[in-house]
A and B are shown apart, each in its own frame.
Chain A
Amino acid sequence: MSDALLTVDHLNVGFATRAGIVRAATDITFEIHPGEVLAVVGESGSGKSVTALALMRLHPDNAIVTGDVLFEGCDLLNMSDREMRATRGNDIAMIFQDPMTAMNPVFAVGDQIVETIRVHDSSISKQEAWTKSVDLLKLVGVPEPKRRASQYPHEYSGGMRQRAMIAMAIANDPKLLIADEPTTALDVTVQAQVMEVLHEVQAETGSAMMLITHDLGLVAGSADRVQVMYASRLMETGTIDQIFYESQNPYTMALLDSIPDLDGHREQLEPIPGNPPSLLNPPSGCAFRPRCAFAADVCAAEVPPTVVVGDQHESRCVRTRELETLGGEIS
């Protein structure tokens, strides 16, 4: 589709280690459209964060990144450092997992927001930028924003800090907001508040959002489309309903079976047996094969290709067709 805001095409991220190359993200292809919320779901180490960092070119120095990433037609991976800096924090902004460590402890919160504004538009005076950062803090629900702006991060609670991080991220009205596990480090009640703030600002600014999380519950209420990752690859992509109600991928199904259901329909949670595979030496064929309830000989032969299973719905499983007929047995 040509109207995509961000197009990621065959993105690979590997890390050169002494033991060999660790493939942290393999063959990642997806699109984000303006104003859309795309959730990326997966276990720890499945490559979600690495993918996001590679988009921003904030990956560690020893990472090897290949593929194409187009943002509004501009090649993010090959643009100059100067152009990349102009994009970061301006067109694409990022919110990180742990608000406790993501803000510089020695600068006042307001000053850190001012810096974000002024680095991209030096024509704004310090006073104007300060007023704007107070407004931004107000927008994200920080009480007494005037006073709080001059405080330091250690004077904020975790939830407040994450709000401040959101304020900093939306300071320049980004077109794309990448939220990397924005609520993982927060306790549950605060999680809900922060997600609400995130949605409000996303709706207000009309920016697209890439929401990275391992919490399917969080995704259910907030995303338009969902992308499930496992062992560095995309396993299934679809709209929220397709993923939650018409999943065609054994991994997604297993993942859904392992989360509690608030309505209490599910009597027993089903953990996924085994552990995620080593990315240094992944199993042959489908990486989920050793843990998959539907594994067959064919699964070990080669990495399964993505199969289109519906409108906007893709799944990486060679047995997709067979599973459709097996569907009755599963539920």
Chain B
Amino acid sequence: MCVMVCRPSVPVHTTTDRSVATLFAYVTRRVLISVPLLVIAMYLVHVGVSATVDPRSDFYLCLPRCQEGFDSITETYALDTNIFLRPFTYFADLFSGDGLGFSSSVGEPVGEVMRTRGWNTAMVAIPAFLLGAVLSLLLSVYSARRQYSVGDYFFTGLSFIGFAMPSFVLALIIQVIFGVKLEEWFGIKPFNTGRKTGENFWELLRDITLPAVSLAILGIAADSRFGRSSMLETLNQDYIRTARAKGLTERTVVWKHALRNGLIPLVTLWALGFSALLSGSVVTESIFSWPGIGQTFLRALGDSDLDLLMAIVMFTGVLTVIFNLIADVLYGVLDPRIRLG
């Protein structure tokens, strides 16, 4: 005999289910929009790089004598094809097994160069991003909550200095003080002056600290300003007063109700900033002799290394599109109103 146990049915909490459905539709939409964007970007990048870089530049001066070398380069890069058609040849090669080509300036396959240099850049970029994001967030909240306090003015002043200072000046100052003078004055050398020397983790940490910090400072200066005004605007909204009237603690009001809304503008800045960091910084990497993508880019440009240049610019383009997509998705996650758009 079956006894039915009567229990009050537990209502299903449906907020999440429905949100996930709308969110999924929104993300799918954003991804589909990114595909044609990426194709068009790649085409334009290729035409642009082809139009500005000529790997035969050294050969023009000796032309009649070195016609053979000239022609072989012309053939390698298909330079006699119309510039607007060349991307098609390039992408056909890309998928037919030639890959990204061979880097004439480094002397390795481009794929290999991108992998090692890309990893080096990421080693600096990821800590720089994390440091920058956390500090700019904390500073935004601090400055917004204590508007016009001494601390607020102090950080405002600092960020204006950081804003106004060119990145090479900042990097040089950091390099000189922490990399060189600290040793002269106190005989301690907590950080390496850049250049990838590290074998173990701690050595590596000493290597990346200075470049990562100087990259982070540049981001913090800008992001904390935007974050402050965004948080200020949010904290003055009616729903913050409602949240207080509900009897919530100040912590919940600020870190849950205000932050979720105030964060939205920062997300774009972070996503674009992170993609810029990952595609390498020419100036900072040069000053700290860091063998990343930025430094490699400079070298490829000097040597008219077409395949490598193409790969780096494409990499930057792909990163930008991907991180824009990530920003869009995070927007949707943070703000349900955007999912419908």
Assess whether B239 is in contact with A101, with CB atoms less than 8 Å apart: yes
Contacting residues of chain A (120-135) with chain B, CB-CB under 8 angstroms? 120, 126-127, 130-131, 134
Give Cα A103 to B336, complex, Å: 13
B81 within 8 A of A: no
Q: Which residues of the other chain, B, contact A96 by a CB distance below 8 angstroms?
A: 238, 241-242, 245
A134-148 vs B: 1/0 string, CB under 8 Å?
100000000000110
Known: A105-B335, A105-B336, A150-B18. A86 touches B13 (CB 8 A): no
Assess whether B245 is in contact with A94, with CB atoms less than 8 Å apart: yes
Assess whether A152 is in contact with B336, with CB atoms less than 8 Å apart: yes
A208 within 8 A of B: no
B8-40 vs A: 1/0 string, CB under 8 Å?
001101110011000000000000000000000
Q: Which residues of the other chain, B, contact A21 by a CB distance below 8 angstroms?
A: none
Task: Output the least CB separation between A246 and chain B (Å).
Answer: 36
Task: Output the least CB separation between A66 and chain B (Å).
Answer: 21
Known: A101-B238, A103-B239, A106-B335. A126 touches B246 (CB 8 A): no
Which of B10, B244, B335 has the most A CB atoms < 10 Å from its CB? B244
B200 within 8 A of A: no
Q: Which residues of the other chain, B, contact A108 by a CB distance below 8 angstroms?
A: 15, 19, 336
Task: Output the least CB separation between A120 and chain B (Å).
Answer: 6
Q: Which residues of the other chain, A, contact B10 by a CB distance below 8 angstroms?
A: 127
Give Cα A130 to B12, complex, Å: 9
Give the residue name and chain of the B residue nearest to A90 (CB): B247
Assess whether B247 is in contact with A119, with CB atoms less than 8 Å apart: yes
A257 within 8 A of B: no
Assess whether A111 is in contact with B242, with CB atoms less than 8 Å apart: no
Give the residue name and chain of the A residue nearest to B14 (CB): A150
Give the residue name and chain of the A residue nearest to B237 (CB): A101
Task: Output the least CB separation between A212 and chain B (Å).
Answer: 14
Give Cα A56 to B252, complex, Å: 18
Assess whether B245 is in contact with A56, with CB atoms less than 8 Å apart: yes
Q: Which residues of the other chain, A, contact B11 by a CB distance below 8 angstroms?
A: 127, 130-131, 134, 146
Give Cα A165 to B241, complex, Å: 13
Q: Which residues of the other chain, B, contact A98 by a CB distance below 8 angstroms?
A: 238
Assess whether B260 is in contact with A106, with CB atoms less than 8 Å apart: yes
Q: Which residues of the other chain, A, contact B313 by a CB distance below 8 angstroms?
A: none
Known: A101-B237, A102-B238, A106-B336. A88 touches B15 (CB 8 A): no
B206 within 8 A of A: no
Task: Output the least CB separation between B245 and chain A (Å).
Answer: 4
Secondary structure at chain B's binding surface: helix, strand, loop or mixed? helix
Give Cα A73 to B260, complex, Å: 38
B249 within 8 A of A: yes
Q: Which residues of the other chain, A, contact B257 by a CB distance below 8 angstroms?
A: 104, 107
A37 within 8 A of B: no
Assess whether B15 is in contact with A58, with CB atoms less than 8 Å apart: no
Contacting residues of chain A (139-187) with chain B, CB-CB under 8 angstroms? 146-147, 149-150, 152, 154, 165, 168
Q: Which residues of the other chain, B, contact A131 by a CB distance below 8 angstroms?
A: 11
A242 within 8 A of B: no
B243 within 8 A of A: yes
Give Cα A104 to B242, complex, Å: 8
Give Cα A56 to B244, complex, Å: 9
Assess whether B242 is in contact with A103, with CB atoms less than 8 Å apart: yes
Known: A101-B238, A103-B239. A88 touches B337 (CB 8 A): no
Q: Which residues of the other chain, A, contact B335 by a CB distance below 8 angstroms?
A: 105-106
Give the residue name and chain of the A residue nearest to B8 (CB): A131
Contact partner of B239 among A89, A104, A120, A134, CB < 8 A? A104
Assess whether B247 is in contact with A130, with CB atoms less than 8 Å apart: no
A178-208 vs B: 1/0 string, CB under 8 Å?
0000000000000000000000000000000
Q: Which residues of the other chain, A, contact B229 by a CB distance below 8 angstroms?
A: none
Assess whether A119 is in contact with B245, with CB atoms less than 8 Å apart: no
Give Cα A270 to B67, complex, Å: 100
Contact partner of B248 among A85, A101, A102, A111, CB < 8 A? A85
Contact partner of A120 among B245, B247, B261, CB < 8 A? B247
Give Cα A255 to B237, complex, Å: 32
Assess whether A105 is in contact with B238, with CB atoms less than 8 Å apart: no
Q: Which residues of the other chain, B, contact A146 by a CB distance below 8 angstroms?
A: 11, 14
Q: Which residues of the other chain, B, contact A150 by a CB distance below 8 angstroms?
A: 13-15, 18
Known: A56-B245, A88-B245, A115-B246. A104 touches B13 (CB 8 A): no
Q: Which residues of the other chain, B, contact A105 by a CB distance below 8 angstroms?
A: 239, 261, 335-337
Task: Output the least CB separation between B237 and chain A (Å).
Answer: 6
Assess whether B245 is in contact with A93, with CB atoms less than 8 Å apart: yes
A320 within 8 A of B: no
Give the residue name and chain of the B residue nearest to A168 (CB): B246
Assess whether B244 is in contact with A106, with CB atoms less than 8 Å apart: no
Q: Which residues of the other chain, B, contact A87 by a CB distance below 8 angstroms?
A: 247
Q: Which residues of the other chain, B, contact A104 by a CB distance below 8 angstroms?
A: 239, 242-243, 257, 260-261
A116 within 8 A of B: yes
Task: Output the least CB separation between A172 and chain B (Å).
Answer: 9
Contacting residues of chain A (56-87) with chain B, CB-CB under 8 angstroms? 56, 58, 85-87
B214-241 vs A: 1/0 string, CB under 8 Å?
0000000000000000000000011101
8 additional A-B residue pairs with CB within 8 Å, beyond A87-B247, A88-B244, A88-B247: A58-B244, A85-B249, A86-B247, A102-B239, A111-B15, A119-B247, A127-B10, A150-B14
Chain B residues within 8 Å of A, Cβ to Cβ: 10-11, 13-15, 18-19, 237-239, 241-249, 252, 257, 260-261, 334-337
Name 23 interchain pairs, CB-CB below 8 A, sorted by A. Answer: A56-B245, A85-B247, A85-B248, A86-B247, A88-B244, A88-B247, A89-B245, A90-B247, A94-B242, A102-B238, A103-B239, A103-B242, A104-B243, A104-B261, A106-B336, A108-B15, A116-B246, A119-B252, A127-B11, A130-B13, A146-B14, A150-B14, A152-B337
